[in-house]
Every structure is written in C-alpha cells, then in structure tokens.
A and B are shown apart, each in its own frame.
Chain A
Amino acid sequence: MAEERRQKQCSVILPTESMKAMAESVGVGQLQEESCVAISEEVSYRIKEIAQDALKFMHHGKRRKLTTSDIDNALKLKNVEPLYGFQSQEFIPFRFASGGGRELHFYEEREVDLSDIINTPLPRVPLDVSLKAPKEQQKAESTEPLKVAKPGQEEEAAIQGKSQGATAADGKGKEKGLIRLKPRSTHELSVEQQLYYKEITEACVGSCEAKRAEALQSIATDPGLYQMLPRFSTFISEGVRVNVVQNNLALLIYLMRMVKALMDNPTLYLEKYLHELIPAVVTCIVSKQLCLRPDVDNHWALRDFAARLMAQSCKTFSTTTNNIQSRITKTFTKSWLDDKTQWTTRYGCIAGLAELGPDVIKTLILPRLTVEGARIKAVMEGPVVSNIDKIGADHVQSLLLKHCASVIAKIRPQPDNVEQYRTDYGYLGPMLCSHVMKARTQAALQAQQVNRTTLTITQPRPTLSVSQSGLSGSTGPRTPSIIKVPSSLTLMSPRPGTPSQPSPPATKYIVMATSAGTATTQQVITLSSSQSASPVTSTVPSATSTLQPLVKLESGSGPGLTGSRPLQKYIVVSLPSSASSSLEPKSSVIPTSISSTSLEAGMKMERSESPGASTQSPH
C-alpha cells in the first residue's frame, strides 16, 4: 500500500492544461507543449516544497488543519510575497468545473457591490478567548461512560454541576455547551406547581387515606405533571432510601403506590427517570427488612406489589438498548442463587422473577424447585431455628406453589402422579402436585384465575355502575353496592355506550377477548365520554400476567364487539388509571364477590367452549 502511494506521490504533477489556462489568463497565448511540461514540473515541485514548509507551521501551530496562513508563512520563509485575499472560512475555497474537455479547479471570485458591504450591519464581534477550568478538579476517567444529558433534569444537572462537579471532560463539555448553545431553560416551577407538589406529596405520605386516594388519582390522571416528574422521582427515590433504613413499611407502600400512579399516567414518560425509580422499586422487593416486626407485619404484600410494578415497567420500558428486563432478571437470579440470602430477600427475588411471566418461571424458577424445596424442608422440618425463618420459608413455599402450579399445569402432561412429582421437584413435589391438579380443575372451570391475594380495593368513590348484560340478562344499571364491588372495579357490558354514569375522562379499559385457539389480545378502550365512546382503539398483544388488577369476564353476546363469533368471552379489565388497585397495608382480603359472579360466568363459558381454551389462556 505504501508503495503504491509513494509511486503516486512521485508522479503527481499539475496537468499542462492548467498551465495553458493560466498562461492565457495573463495574456500569454500559444504556449508550446514543451514549455508547458517544463513549467508544470517546476511549479509542481515548488508547490510541493511550499506545502512541506507549510506543514511545519501547521505542526507548530498545534493544529490538524493546514490553513491559508500556514502557506503564507511558508512563502514568507522563502522570501516570497504571500498570497493575499485567501483568508477564506471555507475549507477549500476552490470550485471544480469541467467542460470543453478541460477540468479545472478555480477560485470563485464574485463581483462585490461596495454599497452592499457598506450597508450591511457589522457582524457580531466574535467571542474573546477565555480560559475555563472545572470548578472542582476531578480526575477524568476515560472508562466512565459519558452521561447522557436528560432533558427534564437540566435544572438538577446545573445545580449538581456546581456542587458536585462533573468529570473534567464532562464539565468541559458543559462549559463549551454554554458557548455554542443558547442557555438551557431552567424548568422553574410556578408557584401553583410548587403548591401542588407540596400538597400532593404531603397527601401521598400523609395519614388521611381519602386524601391519599385523591392525590394518587390526580397523579395518575393529570396531564400536566411532566415538569414535576423529576421532582417526584427524586422524592420517591429519596423517600425509599430513608424509609428502608427506618423500616417504615407504611411509607414504603405509599411511595410504591405513587410509583404505580405515575406509571399509570399516560401523559408521563418515565423512561428518563427509571434510573431513580427502578432502584427504589427493587429495594422494596428484595430488601432484607422492610418493617419493624418482620414476624407480624405483612411486608410480603409490599414485595408482591413492587414485584408487579417491576414486571410492568419491564414490559413497558425494556428495550434492546437499556436491557432493563435482562438486567433485573440477572440481579434477582444472582441474589436468589446466593446461599446466604435471607428468606425475605429470597421471597422478593422469586416474586420479582415470577411476575416477569411464565417463560421466566419456566426457565429460571422450575429448575431450582428441588434445591429450594430442600432448603424449605430444612427450615420447616429441621430443628426450630427462628420463627422468622419459618414464616419466610412458609411464604416462599406458597409463593412458589402459587406461581409454579399454573406453569407446570401448562407444560406437564397429565396425569399428575404424586411420586413422579416428588422425584421431579423434591420436597415441594407432592404439594405442587395437588396445586397443579387444583389449577387444572380450576382452569377447566374458568379461563381466568384470579389469585391475587393481596389486593383490596379501597376506593371509596363509586365512579361507575355496572351493567351486566350477558350474565344476568338484566340491562339495568346496578349500584356498586349490589354486587359488592369496590367502585373502581367496573364491569362493562361489551356494548359500548351503556354505562349509566359518566366515567372519569380517559379511563382505560382493557377488553380481553379470548377464544379458543387464538392468542390473547388486549383491546384498550378509552372511554372519553360515556355516551359516544367507540370502544376499539388499539389492540395490544400482551401476556396476561400484566393485568394484575381486577378482572371480570362476561359472556359476550352483544353485537358491538362479538363479531361473527357467537361464543366469545370478554374479559373486561379496568386498568387502574384512577388508582383502582390500591394497596392497603396489612390487609390481604380478596374481594370475593367478584370471583363468585365471574366464576359462574366463566364456568358457563368454558362449558360451552372447547376445553382446550383453558390451557391456552391461563387467565
């Protein structure tokens, strides 16, 4: 390669045409070919010589670009008058033209009207040289990835930039940024926003449950919270940090509910704040101790709830670039596999993994069942160590049974043999077997398995009444009290436009249509107004475990959505944009009224449908 290049260097000389053109331009016509060759060789040589000298000036000027002034200096060095008028800002001021069999590079000279120059306003004076050093001298770590500037966080960055200082490179960039860019807007909060923020945060962690519900409702629905998002996210992450240390379970739960509400708000983009929120949530899942009295307090519910939040954010925000899901999975798995991990953390890890879906259960949890079973056995049947361990093991056991049963039910062929289960899954085998059998029967009964144990709906405000058209045949509205469903849980008739009471704006409903043989889909229906809402807005393929909130299924026979299929069931899920699924500390009551009605419906449905549907859709 070098050889080729050198040969090229050797032979490059200016074409004789250029010589001719130049001669013509100064009035010498009819230059002989030989003289042209001689001149061009000479000129080429001199140009190369000057270029080499000019390079010297470039090197000493500590630049990478050769400038016209370098050439001037090189000419001066040779006692030649420099070329004036080539101080062009453009890199190469030459234009290329071809035509008439000639190819030329030329310097474009425009005719300039003097009056234009005189009349144009003076250009802005260029900025003067200035010297900058980072305020605090920090070591620039080349390995440290450059921080991505977060648009919503500028005000923080600006504040922190001063107090903490950034890396040298980073800090420099900032200072330079100030020169080139216009100053960044500092998202100052208005007085109203400040008041609002204060009210909301106080209500969220205050003692009044009603106020809290209102505040959460506001966070989940208000469209104008974007400017406050950085503050909320800092509030939450700081709050979790403090309250984990103080073992304040109640406050942690309140904060998680805030996270939930933020995630529910469709106008907010949490991607930029996940770096604060995810650590907070994960802390609530796996922390060793979350409450003052681990033997009495129900911190398990918080772990479950946070795990679901985590799963939801994984589904929503995980991309190939941030890899949230795989990173979270790795974190959970790593601490689960550690022998020294306490039962509380162990529970959190398993819950976190289990919520990520049946695939994760299948690949990560099922293979560990034997080991985990042995560990549980050691605690349950071994010498009494401590009550706390026992409780922990107990919870882990039921958690595993709960999550694994449904998955095993799907992947394992019948019949369920207890002995077989014991050999496959060890200590947990027999229990699993019974759970699986139960799951199978249940699945046979219904497509939907509502076994969220920890949720209570405490929303006191009835927002919707329910009409059940298919099931009871009565189309009249019922008050929530009749079916004893907390208000936010709303059962919708598949026919649109039937709610008898206006719903709050932008409440989301997901209508799940499940039919035999087809994959489940979710249909998100936004009812903007009660009368003229068109139900179908979007169809989101989704795994079913995202839908933690309450679910109601109905036999669909209405004309609106059923389409051609006469026997299709609809699961109406209310996505709790109005803080529907709220978490009550120390309570694990299941709203039985729903399940009773829904189960009936489900049973009816399943009987009429093919039984295969039950294994297809583990709702």
Chain B
Amino acid sequence: MAAVQGGLVDADEDKDIKTEASNDSWGNNNANDGRLLSPSPGSSASAGSNKSAAGASEEQQTLLAVLQFLRKNKLTESVEILRREAGLPEDSLEPKGAESSGAGSGGASGGVDLEGGDASSLLSRVTASSTAGAQAPTKGPIQSAAWLTDKLSHHSASCPTAKLTHSAGEDQPDVNVVLSAYSQQGDPALYEVYYSGLKRFIESVLDCHRAELSQVFYPLFVHMYLELVYNNHESEAKAFFEKFSGDQECYYEDDLRVLSSLTKKEHMRGNETLLDFRTSKFVLRISRDSYQLLKRHLQERQNNQIWNIIQEHLYIDIFDGMPRSKSQIDAMSGSLAGEAKREANKAKVYYGLLKEPEIELPLDDEDEEAENEEGKPKKKKPKKDSLGSKSKKQDPNAPSQNRIPLPELKDSDKLDKIMYMKEATKRIRLGPDNLPSICFYSFLNAYQGLTAVDFTDDSSLIAGGFADSTVRVWSVTPKKLRKVKSAADLNLIDKESDDVLERIMDEKTASESKILCGHSGPVYGISFSPDRNYLLSSSEDGTVRLWSLQTFTCLVGYKGHNYPVWDTQFSPHGYYFVSGGHDRVARLWATDHYQPLRMFSGHLADVTCTRFHPNSNYVATGSSDRTIRLWDVLNGNCVRIFTGHKGPIHALAFSPNGKFLASGATDGRVLLWDIGHGLMVGELKGHTDTIYSLRFSRDGEILASGSMDNTVRLWDATKAFDDLETDDFTAATGHIHLQDNSQELLLGTYMTKSTPVIHLHFTRRNLLLAAGAYNP
C-alpha cells in the first residue's frame, strides 16, 4: 500500500503541536493545573493562586495544604493537633478536598463542556451557604493526583503514556486517591434514613418532576453504597443494598450485580466498575425547575450527605424548559455514566461523503458495439455527465477532500471502482415491497468456535475468525485462492509478458480455502482491506495482525493493546484501520506504522466494536459502558456520545449517505442516531437476543439486523429516517420523543434453524448475504 504523503504520521511534530494547542484551548485553569502535576508541598501551596478560589484567605489555604500533606504522610497526630489549633471542623478537610478535585476535573474537561464553569460556581455558592470557613477549594497533592487520573481518562488520546492508567494493579496509588473521596464519616445508620427521606420527597413531588428527579436515585444509591462499603460498614451496606436495590431501573441490573458482589473495602481496589463510577461523573439531565426543587428540599433538610454526593459525583446538566417525561428519560439513560452532556454532542461533524474521484468509465464491449452503430459522441456524453454531476456536487456537510490524507488510487483500485459502478447499475432498488433475497452462508462443524466473519466488498471472499486462533479465508466464486510463487520461481517468469499478474500465481496452491495461523488466542475481529489484498484480524492475544492475501502470510503484528482486541476494521479508503479492545481505548493505525497514530480514550469499559465512517474522517466505537462515541480522526477528539442502550453494544453500521448510525446491543434493540444533530432518532424493537450484525442496503433503504436469536430482520430505514427530518424542536433541545413504531418498520423476520447470525453483507447488487455457524 502506498504511503500517504504528508499524512497524519509523517508530521509527528504536528501532532505535538496539536496536543499543546488543545491544551491551551482548555484555558487558564488547565495551564495552572499542568504545572501542578509534581506533587510537592511547595507547588501545592502555589495552587492557592488558583483563580477559581474566590474569596479565600491565603492563610487558610496554606494551612489546609499542609494538613493534606501531613495526612498523606500518615502523620495523623500532627494533623489532629494542627486542626484543633486552627479550629477547623473535623470533616472540612476531606470533603472539601474532594469537592475541589471535582471542580478541578470539571474545569479540566471544560474544553469539551462549557458547563464546567457553571458547575464550579454553583458549587462555591453551595459551599458558602452550607459550611462556614474553609470554603476555598484547595489544590493539594491528593487533588492534583486525583485530577490527573481524570485528565488521563479523558485525554490520554493525546498522551500515549497514559494508556495503562486503568489497568488494575499498576495504578494502585491513584486508586487510593480515588477511593479516599469516600472516606467521609457519617453515621452509617442514617444512610437509609437519608435515602428513604429523599425517596419520600421525590414520590411526593408533582408528577412532571418525579420522573426527572427519579434519575437521581441510581447514582445516589451506588455512591452511598460504596461509601458504606469503603468505610467498612459491611452489614449496613448489605442492608442498604437489599432495601433499595429493588427500586432501581431494571436496566441497571447488570451493574447492580457487580455492585452486590462488592462488600469489602479491599474489593474496591482494582474493581473497574467502581473506578468508572468514581472517575467519571454520572451525568443527569434535569430541567431547571426540578433541580431547584431538589436543591431547596436538600437545603431545608440540611441533608448534607446527599447534597455532597450530588456535588461531588454527579454532573447535573440543567436545561430550561419543560421537564422530560419518563419515556424520554428512559430512552436516553442506561449508560454506565448517565446521559451524554448536551455539550458533548454540539461539535460540528462533517458527515457528508467525500467526492468520488473521477474515473473515465470505459464502456464494455457490448456498449461499444452499440455505440459504433449509433455514433460515439452521442452516447458517451450523457453518460459521463450523469456520473460527473453526481460527484461534482460537493456535499456542504462533507469534509474537505484532504482533511485527512488518503491514499492515492492505484490502477487496480480504479478498475475496481469501474466494476463497482457497473454492478451498481444492475442493482436492485429495494423497498418495503421489494425486499432483498437473503443467502445464508452457514459454517458447519465450527463447534461453537466461529467468532468473527467478514465479506469483501465485492462478495468474492469470506473470512472467518475462530476460537482456535485460526483465520480461514474462503473463495465463494469459482476462482480459487492461489499464492504467489516463491522468490526463486518468480525470477524465472517473463516480466514483460502481458499476463504477468497471472504468471506470478502458483497454480499448485489453488484451493477453495486457506488457513492463516499466527494468533495465540481466539480471533474476535476480522476485516478485509477494500482492495482485497490484505486482511486484518484482532485477537485475544492483544495483537492485530495484517495478512497478505497474495502470499497468505502474516505481514505485521500490531502490538499496543495489552488486552484482548475485540474488533478491528479497515477504513473504507484503505491504509488506515481502527481497533478497540478490553483496555477501553480505540486506536487508529496505518498499515505501514507499527505504532498507533491516534488513541481514542474515553470509554469507561471495553470498546466492543469499531466502525469507520464512510468518509474515513470519523470512527464510531461502541462499548460495554453502553455508550457509542464518535471520534474525529483528524484530532482525536470525541465529537459525539450517544447514550440509550441498556447493554453492551455489539454492532454498529453507518448509513451509506453517512448521515445516520445504527447500533445494536445485547438488549436486543437497534437504535438509530442522527450524527449531524447528535440525536437518537429511532428505536427498533423485535430481536430477543444480542444483535451481532447490522448492515444498510447499498442505497440505504433497508436496514438488516442479525442476532443471536437466529433471525435476520429487515427494517424500513427510509421510513424510519423520513419521519423525523422535519422536527427542528428536538434538534434544538435534544429531547427526543420516540414513537413506538417498530412493528410498522419491521419488514420481515427470517429464521434460521439453529444458526446465530453474526455477519450481514449486502452485495453490490443488493443481495443480502448472511453468515453464522450452525449450532447443533
């Protein structure tokens, strides 16, 4: 593959500059924090100059900083003495510190969310009203370290050294810091009282507010439980859990199960779920009225316990307007960290398609003959025009052609494009009345070992990844798979001959299928390059391998993920590929670089599936934290966060026009997303088990979904997307109101006997191919 000129990688300096630039854009706050990273008492004192520390006396801050330091060095006695002398309340140290760290992190992510400032000002107001003295958010070493964790989790894309931040065991100090936020002492017996008091209050408020305020229950419940556990109140924690876990929404069941097994402080170390909860703020979207109601209630009752949790661990995204209904809330919630902030989805996304390169279409022989009779110029012109007009019209939403450098088209690519266009003219127009035929490729004797399947774009090859670490490639056309001759034999052939490409192939190796061995663990992801020369496979062994389909050997093993790599995919333009795995990071690679070009970090759990946008400028990743994120390949920013799924996401598909995204999860639902507006626009219910494959037809009229429940379902995508494009209000407010029309959109359900559908593919003529392993 040709190296990209002036690409993402060639300009390594560019990258650095970019990182810095983005740092700058985070504003003053960040620049200060950046200097704070060395955890020395001196620098912690200088943190006193933090601009957000409004109205704080320097003395007190210094005192607090010293206290922090002593405490950190286990000099509890001196802490006590100092504290008593200064007359500080007992609990002023910890919670305030934690709060400030929360504020710090809010500010840190301010580059992405503008609400950060608002939140911190709110915070200072509340602190001022609740406790006298020591209002100043202090920047001690603990806080900066805690903040570091936050920062890393949000922005490790720009700093590769942070990639192991979350791996348990290696970051023990950080975990301690993170957990120490829970070391708040309150009467454990009162937790139940607090919680049920709030429950009573929320049940008594007006209906319109109740649904919104009920969102608070789950994060509060989790944090209160964790606090109890952290402070070694095991029996209280258990009682608390048993009493209130039943009240939580059913879609949190999986998380509650994890939580229920966690009963000891020791368990909290290295527990990822817990870290997710602590390091990321649970985001709630609440209308201003409801929020005021809650705030007033908590202040009246002096319910500091709950108020502190809300301040520290929750991010409340306040909006003006009507409170949302229960169904609206349910549609969007379910993710590990609450809903996406509205600001997270405001960035401009260039979802349009790139201009197709102009290719002179040589007409095939029949046409040529016909033309000769009728007169050449007449026929050729209109044909060219029709092609030209299509590609010349620049989509206003499309990124510029060279936004990211793309490989030049080779002659063979051009030939392939021509083939594609020819096939496209024979394509069947699908619709509700004209459903595609489905051809099912079943893998026999796979013994439950088939883990991944991919088809080439022209449907000539099928590759399967297996649990026994092998990758197998089949030819589904009569053309057999042949290897290139060995170097010695290649020397013998006549390089000048016309059929040199034919001559380099070794006829003796022709067979219908080839086995590629090299991985040392189950192969979970597989992807053909668009030019059919390469195959990518990702495996449990933590590597992504690039295979040549000319020699059927492994060319490169890309190491970077230290944990299982769940998915990988080639860019539609080749050269780049993306991978995502258990380490919660998605990586962008180029085939000729052994190190990743970009690291997309931000998911709170495994990245389970990765997809390139048709214009190669964006990458979508689905995760077990039940969110979907869209990343900009150019700068590595997360430009969209979609929440709403209630289970790990296992399938993603972009519509051919690049405007929409479909996602399928273990909850058996397909959700449709408008990328431009950052909104959920549809919900397709029907499957009863995990959806492993989604695919739009070539023209985007039909969405096919394949599932573990042994069915392929076809959905009317045109109708699903048509209904909403008129609605501007939802786009402005971000409040979706989905009608339940799954049954109308469902065009067909096709059962297999006992074969889970794990891959779907539309041929260029819109025949639907499905694949799965027969499960006797």
Contact = CB atoms under 8 A, between A and B. Distances in A.
A172 B521 contact: no
Interface string B146-180: 00000000000000000000001100000000000
A134 B708 contact: no
Contacts of A175: 442, 444
Contacts of B438: 137, 139-140, 168
Given A45-B262, A128-B445, A64 B708 contact: yes
Contacts of A176: 442, 444, 753, 774, 776
Size range of the interface on A?
35 or more
Contacts of B267: 45
B614 interface: no
Nearest to B441: A133
A97 interface: no
Contacts of A424: none
A180 B754 CA distance: 14
B443 A62 contact: no
A76 B245 CA distance: 32
B750 A168 contact: yes
Contacts of A130: 443-445
B648 interface: yes
Contacts of B753: 169, 172-173, 176
A135 to B, nearest CB: 10
Given A45-B264, A127-B445, A172 B758 contact: no
Contacts of B266: 42
Interface string B243-269: 001100010010011101111101100
Interface string B663-692: 000100000000000000000000000101
A132 B442 contact: yes
A10 B238 contact: yes
Given A52-B258, A128-B445, A139-B438, A169 B513 contact: no
Contacts of A61: 448, 451, 467, 522, 524
A142 interface: yes
B242 interface: yes
A45 B648 CA distance: 22
Contact of B756 (A48, A62, A77, A128): A62
B26 to A, nearest CB: 34
A89 B257 CA distance: 29
B260 A9 contact: yes
B750 A69 contact: no
Nearest to A171: B440
B566 interface: yes
Contacts of B521: 73
Interface in B723-772: 748-753, 755-756, 758, 767
A214 interface: no
Nearest to A2: B250
Interface string B695-716: 0000000000000100110000
Contact of A45 (B250, B263, B750, B773): B263
Contacts of A180: 776
A462 to B, nearest CB: 59
B474 interface: yes
Contacts, number: 167
A73 B582 CA distance: 12
B439 interface: yes
A7 B259 CA distance: 12
Given A62-B451, A77-B582, A141 B750 contact: yes
B666 A59 contact: yes
A137 B439 contact: yes
A145 to B, nearest CB: 12
Nearest to B748: A142
A60 interface: yes
A603 B444 CA distance: 75
Given A10-B238, A176-B774, A73 B540 contact: yes
Nearest to A3: B246
A209 interface: no
A179 interface: yes
Contacts of B361: none
B264 A41 contact: yes
Contacts of A199: none
B413 to A, nearest CB: 28
B128 interface: no
Contact of A139 (B256, B435, B566, B624): B435
Interface string B162-202: 00000011000000000000000000000000000000000
A565 interface: no
B497 interface: no
Nearest to B689: A64
Nearest to A52: B258
A172 B566 CA distance: 29
Contacts of B168: 78
B464 interface: yes
Contacts of A133: 439-442, 476
A2 B253 CA distance: 9
Contacts of B466: 129
Interface string B635-651: 00000000000001010
Nearest to B648: A59
A127 to B, nearest CB: 4
Contacts of A139: 435, 437-438, 750
Contacts of B238: 10-11
A321 B439 CA distance: 33
Nearest to B273: A52
A49 interface: yes
B751 A129 contact: no
Contacts of B447: 126
A34 to B, nearest CB: 14
A65 B260 CA distance: 24
A260 to B, nearest CB: 40
A435 B756 CA distance: 69
B312 interface: no
A3 B773 CA distance: 37
Given A10-B260, A56-B624, A132-B444, A168 B752 contact: yes
B137 interface: no
B700 to A, nearest CB: 21
Contacts of B262: 45
B750 A132 contact: no
Contacts of B773: 62
A42 B245 CA distance: 22
Contact of B751 (A11, A76, A126, A140): A140
A60 B232 CA distance: 36
B776 A10 contact: no
Interface string B440-459: 11111111111100000000
B141 interface: no
Contacts of A140: 438, 440, 712, 750-752
A412 interface: no
Contacts of B446: 129
Interface string A154-171: 000000000000001100
Interface in A1-15: 2-3, 6-7, 9-11
14 contacts: A6-B253, A7-B245, A9-B261, A56-B606, A60-B608, A61-B448, A69-B522, A77-B564, A128-B445, A131-B464, A134-B440, A169-B751, A176-B444, A176-B776
Ordered nearest first, which 5 A-B pairs have the shortest CB separation?
Answer: A3-B246, A137-B439, A48-B261, A10-B260, A127-B445
Given A2-B250, A61-B451, A131-B464, 15 more contacts: A10-B245, A45-B263, A48-B261, A52-B258, A127-B445, A131-B444, A133-B442, A134-B439, A142-B749, A172-B753, A175-B442, A175-B444, A176-B776, A179-B444, A179-B445
Interface of A: 2-3, 6-7, 9-11, 41-42, 44-45, 48-49, 52, 56-57, 59-65, 67, 69, 73, 76-79, 126-134, 137-142, 168-169, 172-173, 175-176, 179-180
